[in-house]
Structure 1
Amino acid sequence: MKIKPSIRKIITRTVFWVIYSYILYVSIIDNWWIWVAIASPILFYIFYYEDLPKSLKKKKSVKNKEFTNLKK
C-alpha cells in the first residue's frame, strides 16, 4: 500500500513536532536548551525543504554547479 505524498508529509511533520516538542521540554528542564536552539534551523530545513521558495532552491543548485565546475 502506497501512502499519498500529502498524507506522508502530514504524518512526517506530526511525528517531527511531537518529538521536537518533547525534546524541547526535556532540554528546558535539564538546562541544555541552547543546543536545541542551535540545531533547530537545521532540523527545520531538513523537514520543510520542499516548502522553501523556489528561489532558495535555485540558489543552492547554482552554487553546486559552480562548485562542480571549480573541481574540474
Structure 2
Amino acid sequence: MDLDGRGRRPLARACLDWTERRPHLAGAAGAALCRHLLERGWCVRIGSGRAVKVTGTGEQALTDLLGIDTAALR
C-alpha cells in the first residue's frame, strides 16, 4: 500500500463507523494497519467481512508492542 501520500486515498482521516457509531482510522494508513493485523493473524474477519475480531495472538502482540489494555477491546 502506498503511504507516501501520492495515492488517491488520504493518508489518514477520522471516520465515524456507520454501524457501531464509533470513530476509527480511515485512509491509506488505516487500510495498511488493517491489512498488517489480518496478515499476521492478530485479527480475523467476522460476519459480512467488514467487521473484525482481535485474536488471542493479537491481544498479546498489541499488549507487547503498544501497551494496549486488551481487556478494553472485548
Higher relative contact order (CA 8 A, sep 6+): 1
Structure whose alpha-carbon radius of gyration is higher: 1
| Structure in which a larger fraction of residues adopt helix | 1
Normalised-by-shorter TM-score class = under 0.3
Greater share of residues in strand: 2
The normalised TM-score by structure 2 is 0.26
Relative to the length of structure 1, the TM-score reads 0.27
